Amino acid sequence: MAEGLRHARVEIGDALPPLVCPPVTRLMLALYCGASGDHNPLHVDIDFAHDAGLDDVIAQGMLVMAWMGRALTAQVPQAAIREFGTRFHAMTRVGDALVCHATIVEKMSGDGEPRVRVAIEARDQRGELKATGDALIALPA
């Protein structure tokens, strides 16, 4: 976790270090099913995925959001995150390797604490946008 992320030292447009995720594997999807409680067969059963018109299983959207959250918590404590929302744009498939990028888009204070709003996105190795989101984060002055 970066100790130097302070409200007075960050500027609008500053980028946080990207989070480079490993390629999605079938094992990863199966383990996430167990960890998250999301047992939708679309994520682990190739026959079910075929019946749904897909070539293969797809990653859980919340797995993508979790990686986006990890990009944030690599820089600030989890307790500093006041809001975090995501919008999904495209399916993440087996073999996709995502990179999460976050940028400070606003500085403000709220509830008596200095805060920043961060825009975040996840793209695969081809540059395809998988998800976007934003987070409201409290920072030390």
- Tens digit of pLDDT for each residue in 71-123? 999 999 999 999 999 999 999 999 999 999 999 999 999 899 999 999 999 99
What CATH number is associated with residue 66? 3.10.129.10
Long-range residue pairs from 60-63, CB within 8 A, at least 24 positions apart, any chain: 60/29, 60/32, 60/33, 60/36, 61/86, 61/88, 61/92, 61/131, 62/36, 62/38, 63/24, 63/28, 63/29, 63/32, 63/36, 63/92
Identify whether 113 is part of a domain.
yes
> Domain range holding 26?
19-138
Identify whether 130 is part of a domain.
yes
pTM as predicted = 0.93
- The structural domain count of the chain equals 1
Identify whether 94 is part of a domain.
yes
Identify whether 62 is part of a domain.
yes
Identify whether 14 is part of a domain.
no
Identify whether 8 is part of a domain.
no
Q: Mean pLDDT, the chain, as a whole number?
A: 95
pLDDT band at 12 (very low <50, low <70, confident <90, very high): very high
Identify whether 1 is part of a domain.
no
| High-pLDDT (> 90) share of the chain, % | 95
Identify whether 7 is part of a domain.
no
